[in-house]
């Protein structure tokens, strides 16, 4: 037999979905917007434009809704936000549960009144983020909202007198069934109370009608242990010596934790702490005059960071200075101070840079890059003082990128008394390349240090042959063996009558045979690559010099015959054919051998 249903038993109707029109739809949209705002604030910094826009839209939407529909009272369950019996935002997951922070901390309803200020909405969002963050401690949302003094926000919360403040027993109802305490009325003309409309001015949890912090009565005249704000009061039973022994036993671990936290806090440098404070000042809505004052102070912090080798802190200080947008600050003026020979900051920076590893070097380069092109001259001074070749080469590479559009800024360093500084300057010009650097390289081409001259020859490879040729010819007179061969190799890139005649004079010089073998070989190769028909008669005359009675092959004659063959013209072929008919055996052998490898040019 089917059991009859008890008509007297009440059954709670299921929550209704928000309707398409009316206050419920507006409230549902606002609660959804609140959830999205909280998610966005957790993802990005407070100053992020997206976060700012979300917060502003949340406040303006609530203000418009209250003007259109009057006060709105939202109630909370463990997984939903309600407007009366209408479900506004049922939770699909823990991350999507907007109601949970309110319900967990005892808030059962919250009422928004017309005239609410954007600052009040900001305060509500900040406190929600605070109690839902990973760093949240023992704070509860009720106390935080109470301390915020929100004039147009009233909160109904669950009274904790029964199970915490009053120290009740197991017969008390669970927390969900506990009576809802009203939000205490504001003094001094605040907005009206919440659902309960309480009149007390004490902190949440105080007994109605009692003075703030007073212990509630048990009815028989004795006071029980209660709570004033968040501190336990009243008589704590127990033996004093026992309690003291417990504290003493725990003191060692607590002392160690305190010391560890103390050391962690003081690991931060003075520069880092100062920058954090300056950042907070800017984030707190500093006005134009405040920014000017900060811009006057921050360069001192930047000097300190650079001098101590704290490159990342220097970048933070530079970013804060750029945020100040002060007419009194410029990166060019700052680096000009660092360029001065008397700059203690630069001396300290170089000393720190030479001691740091690759990571520190990369952080330094990032700071220099943030300073931009004005930093080039300062970096050249760093190059001059650094004792680490690894650091010098990397810094020089950055300088080449900063001055690539104005290579003449490197010119003063080409006459520096330190040869390695000049070599670094030439390397920078080599990385820049182009015909514009040819004139700048001329002072270094005659430098007494061979390593500088070799670097000049290498840099001229980045210049067109026409612009490089005059300077290369000048270097032949002062070139050592290595530079001499390198110069001739570059001159061999194209045929030129003047170049060929200049090299021919080296061949005709009486001291030619005394030159090292590699130099003579370089002269032969360059002569064959640069000479043309106008020089063939002189080469033919050189070919027929020597002892007529010699019978053995002559290496010098063979080299001259190969020079003629490399000219590759018909005149060159005819000259070799005449030599091959010579009655002098060495000349005949040299010309016959050259004809075998003859290849016409063009």
Full 3-state SS string of 371-426: HCHHHHHHHHHHHHHCCCHHHHHHHHHHHHHHCCCCHHHHHHHHHCCCHHHHHHHH
Is the model's pLDDT at 265 over the cut of 70? no
Residue 184 is predicted with a pLDDT of 56
Is the model's pLDDT at 530 over the cut of 50? yes
Which residue in 271, 332, 331 sits closest to 306, CA to CA? 271
Q: Which of 161-175, 424-438, 462-476 has the lowest mean pLDDT?
A: 161-175
**How would you class 104 by CB atoms within 10 Å of its CB: exposed for 0-12, middle for 13-18, buried for 19 or more?**
middle
pLDDT grade, residue 346 (50/70/90)?
very high
- Digit-coded pLDDT (tens) for 205-214: 444 444 444 4
Q: What DSSP line would sit under 164-201, residue for residue? A: IIS---TTSPPGGGSPEEPPPPPSSS-----SS-----
Residue 497 is predicted with a pLDDT of 86
List phi, psi (to 5°) of 339.
-70, -25
Is the model's pLDDT at 368 over the cut of 80? yes
Is the model's pLDDT at 515 over the cut of 60? yes
Q: 294: which 2 tokens?
A: 């900060």
Residue 162 is predicted with a pLDDT of 43
**Cα–Cα distance measured from residue 274 to residue 298, given in angstroms and rounded to the nearest whole number:** 9
**Cα–Cα distance measured from residue 131 to residue 418, given in angstroms and rounded to the nearest whole number:** 63
Q: In this structure, are residues 591 and 561 in contact, taking their beta carbons and an 8 Å threshold?
A: yes
Percent of the chain with pLDDT over 70: 81
Q: What is the mean pLDDT of residues 328-341?
A: 90
- Digit-coded pLDDT (tens) for 60-77: 999 999 999 999 999 999
Cβ count within 10 A of residue 406: 12
**Cα–Cα distance measured from residue 145 to residue 126, given in angstroms and rounded to the nearest whole number:** 10
Pick 274 or 246 by higher pLDDT: 274
**How would you class 349 by CB atoms within 10 Å of its CB: exposed for 0-12, middle for 13-18, buried for 19 or more?**
buried
Q: Are strands 86-87 and 16-17 parallel, antiparallel or unpaired?
A: parallel
Residue 543 is predicted with a pLDDT of 83
Residue 193 is predicted with a pLDDT of 41
Residue 10 is predicted with a pLDDT of 40
Which residue in 363, 430, 370 sits closest to 396, CA to CA? 430
List phi, psi (to 5°) of 231.
-120, 135
- Digit-coded pLDDT (tens) for 282-326: 888 888 888 899 999 999 999 999 999 999 999 999 999 999 988
Name the one residue in this structure whose structure tokens are 């931060």. 268
| Overall pTM > 0.95 | no
Q: In this structure, are residues 33 and 58 in contact, taking their beta carbons and an 8 Å threshold?
A: yes
pLDDT grade, residue 81 (50/70/90)?
very high
> Which residues is 82 bridged to in the sheet?
75, 87
Residue 9 is predicted with a pLDDT of 40
- Classify the phi-psi angles of 318: left when phi > 0, otherwise alpha if psi is within -120 to 50, otherwise beta: alpha
At 482 the three-state DSSP class reads helix
Q: In this structure, are residues 66 and 114 in contact, taking their beta carbons and an 8 Å threshold?
A: yes
Residue 66 is predicted with a pLDDT of 92
Q: What is the mean pLDDT of residues 93-107?
A: 88
Q: Which of 22-31, 186-195, 456-465, 561-570 has the lowest mean pLDDT?
A: 186-195
**Cα–Cα distance measured from residue 197 to residue 201, given in angstroms and rounded to the nearest whole number:** 12
Q: In this structure, are residues 321 and 330 in contact, taking their beta carbons and an 8 Å threshold?
A: no
Please name the helix (run of DSSP H) or strand (run of DSSP E) that holds residue 561, with its range, or none: helix 555-567
Residue 399 is predicted with a pLDDT of 93
SS3 content of the chain, % helix, strand, coil (to 5): 60, 5, 35
Q: What DSSP line would sit under 25-76, residue for residue? A: HHHHHHHHHHHHHHHHHHHS-TT-HHHHHHHHHHHHHHHHHHHHH--EEEEE
Q: In this structure, are residues 576 and 587 in contact, taking their beta carbons and an 8 Å threshold?
A: no
- Digit-coded pLDDT (tens) for 439-450: 999 889 888 888
481-491 and 517-530 helices, crossing angle to 10°: 10
Percent of the chain with pLDDT over 90: 33
Q: What is the mean pLDDT of residues 341-348?
A: 91
Degrees, nearest 5: CA angle 503-508-514: 100
Q: In this structure, are residues 39 and 53 in contact, taking their beta carbons and an 8 Å threshold?
A: no
Q: Are strands 86-87 and 107-112 parallel, antiparallel or unpaired?
A: unpaired
Residue 183 is predicted with a pLDDT of 57
Is the model's pLDDT at 235 over the cut of 80? no
> Which residues is 30 bridged to in the sheet?
none
Residue 211 is predicted with a pLDDT of 44
- Digit-coded pLDDT (tens) for 462-504: 999 889 888 888 888 777 777 888 888 888 888 888 888 888 8
Cβ count within 10 A of residue 597: 10
pLDDT grade, residue 365 (50/70/90)?
very high
Is the model's pLDDT at 172 over the cut of 50? no
Residue 485 is predicted with a pLDDT of 84
Q: Are strands 81-83 and 180-181 parallel, antiparallel or unpaired?
A: unpaired
DSSP state of 173: P
At 484 the three-state DSSP class reads helix
For residue 431, give every residue at least 6 positions away whose Cβ sits within 8 Å of its Cβ, in sequence order, or none: 396, 397, 400
**Cα–Cα distance measured from residue 74 to residue 65, given in angstroms and rounded to the nearest whole number:** 13
Average pLDDT score, the chain: 81
**Cα–Cα distance measured from residue 365 to residue 351, given in angstroms and rounded to the nearest whole number:** 15
């Amino acid at each position: 037999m089917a059991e009859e249903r008890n008509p007297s038993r009440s059954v709670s109707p299921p929550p209704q979905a928000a309707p398409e029109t009316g206050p419920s739809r507006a409230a549902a949209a606002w609660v959804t917007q609140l959830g999205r705002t909280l998610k966005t604030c957790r993802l990005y910094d407070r100053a992020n434009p997206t976060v700012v826009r979300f917060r502003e839209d949340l406040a303006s939407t609530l203000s418009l809704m209250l003007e259109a529909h009057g006060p709105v009272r939202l109630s909370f369950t463990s997984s939903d936000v309600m407007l009366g019996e209408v479900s506004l935002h049922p939770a699909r997951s823990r991350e999507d549960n907007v109601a949970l922070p309110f319900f967990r901390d005892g808030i059962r309803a919250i009422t928004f009144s017309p005239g609410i200020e954007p600052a009040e909405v900001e305060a509500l969002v900040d406190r929600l983020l605070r109690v839902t963050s990973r760093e949240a401690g023992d704070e509860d949302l009720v106390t935080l909202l109470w301390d915020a003094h929100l004039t147009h926000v009233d909160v109904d919360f669950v009274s904790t007198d029964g199970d915490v403040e009053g120290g009740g027993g197991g017969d008390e109802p669970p927390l969900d069934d506990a009576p809802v305490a009203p939000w205490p009325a504001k003094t001094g003309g605040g907005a009206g109370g919440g659902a309960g409309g309480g009149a007390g001015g004490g902190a949440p949890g105080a007994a109605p009608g009692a003075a703030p912090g007073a212990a509630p009565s048990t009815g028989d005249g004795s006071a029980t242990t209660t709570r004033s704000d968040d501190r336990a009061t009243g008589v704590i039973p127990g033996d004093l010596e026992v309690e003291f022994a417990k504290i003493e036993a725990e003191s060692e671990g607590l002392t160690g934790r305190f010391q560890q936290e103390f050391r962690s806090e003081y690991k931060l440098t003075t520069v880092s702490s100062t920058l954090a404070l300056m950042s907070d000042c800017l984030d707190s809505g500093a006005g134009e005059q405040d920014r000017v004052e900060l811009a006057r102070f921050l360069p001192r912090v930047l000097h300190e960071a650079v001098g101590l080798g704290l490159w990342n802190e220097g970048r933070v200080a530079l970013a804060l200075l750029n945020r100040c947008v002060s007419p009194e600050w410029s990166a060019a003026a700052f680096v000009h101070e660092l360029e001065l020979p008397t700059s203690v900051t630069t001396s300290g920076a170089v000393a720190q840079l030479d001691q740091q590893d690759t990571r520190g070097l990369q952080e330094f380069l990032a700071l220099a890059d943030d300073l931009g092109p004005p930093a080039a001259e300062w970096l050249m001074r760093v190059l001059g003082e650094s004792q680490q070749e690894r650091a010098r080469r990397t810094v020089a590479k950055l300088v080449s990128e900063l001055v690539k559009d104005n290579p003449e800024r490197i010119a003063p360093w080409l006459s520096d008394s330190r040869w390695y500084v000049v070599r670094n300057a030439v390397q920078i010009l080599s990385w820049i390349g182009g015909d514009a650097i040819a004139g700048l390289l001329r002072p270094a081409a005659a430098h007494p240090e061979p390593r500088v001259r070799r670097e000049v020859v290498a840099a001229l490879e980045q210049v067109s042959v026409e612009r490089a040729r005059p300077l290369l010819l000048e270097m032949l007179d002062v070139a050592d063996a290595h530079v001499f061969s390198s110069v001739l190799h570059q001159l061999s890139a194209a045929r030129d009558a003047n170049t060929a005649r200049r090299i021919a004079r080296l061949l005709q010089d009486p001291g030619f045979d005394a030159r090292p073998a590699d130099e003579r070989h370089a002269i032969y190769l360059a002569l064959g690559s640069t000479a043309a028909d106008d020089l063939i008669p002189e080469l033919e005359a050189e070919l027929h010099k020597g002892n007529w009675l010699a019978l053995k092959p002559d290496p010098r004659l063979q080299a001259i015959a190969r020079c003629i063959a490399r000219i590759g013209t018909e005149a060159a072929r005819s000259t070799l054919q005449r030599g091959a008919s010579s009655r002098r055996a060495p000349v005949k052998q040299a010309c016959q051998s050259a004809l075998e490898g003859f290849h016409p040019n063009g």
